[in-house]
Amino acid sequence: MKLAHLLFLLCLLLMVSVKALAQKTDGGQTKIDIKLNLPKLDAHPYHKPFVAVWLETKERSAIETIAIWYDDAEWLKDLRQWWRKLGRKQHASSQLDGISGATQKPGVHHIEWQGSLLEDHAYLNFEVVREEGGRSYHRELIQLKTTGSYTVKEDHEFGEIEIQVNHIANP
């Protein structure tokens, strides 16, 4: 009889644990749409900037690179914040293939990302660096499990950044 009760309690505990784990990991998808404005700076010579956009946990652990724009891999380490968090590992393992692109001219550029994350909040990081130019870095705390809009004020190397986060719940 005691063995039957023990087995019943173990099964019940296992079911509760599996349900809690499913709720934790079945959080749906998060879609992030970014409008990144690169201003035309009065610089001679003008060099298009290197840009890195990535996600970090609230504890500053790297999650994923969303976009990286560059024209010569030798200078990726000039994106110092990104390089320390993700760059040196991803560059060595060719993980940049699907998210990298050439440097971009001034104007508004669209970046999209969609994925599943366990975190409720994350930091969206922007780093912009130009050869013979300046450096701008910003991190914005965003909520991943709700829909919301965020605006980052312009800095020297980037103009205003608009962020739209959409949570897509699983059916």
The pTM (predicted TM-score) of the whole model is: 0.81
Instruction: Tell me the pLDDT tens digit for each residue of 105-130.
Output: 999 999 999 999 889 999 999 999 99
CATH number of this structure's domain 28-168: 2.60.40
Instruction: Tell me the pLDDT tens digit for each residue of 38-60.
Output: 999 988 888 999 999 999 999 99
Question: How many C-beta neighbours within 10 Å does residue 67 have?
Answer: 19
* DSSP conformation class of 49: P
State the Cα–Cα distance between residues 37 and 48, nearest whole angstrom.
13
| Number of separate helices (H) and strands (E) present in the chain | 3, 9
The CA angle 100-97-109, to the nearest 5 degrees, is 20
Torsion of CA 63, 55, 98, 102, to 10 degrees: -140
State the Cα–Cα distance between residues 62 and 73, nearest whole angstrom.
20
Please say whether the beta carbons of 92 and 123 come within 8 A: no
State the Cα–Cα distance between residues 109 and 28, nearest whole angstrom.
27
Instruction: Tell me the pLDDT tens digit for each residue of 56-90.
Output: 999 999 999 999 999 988 889 999 999 999 988 87
Sort strands 148-152 and 161-168 into parallel, antiparallel or unpaired.
Answer: antiparallel
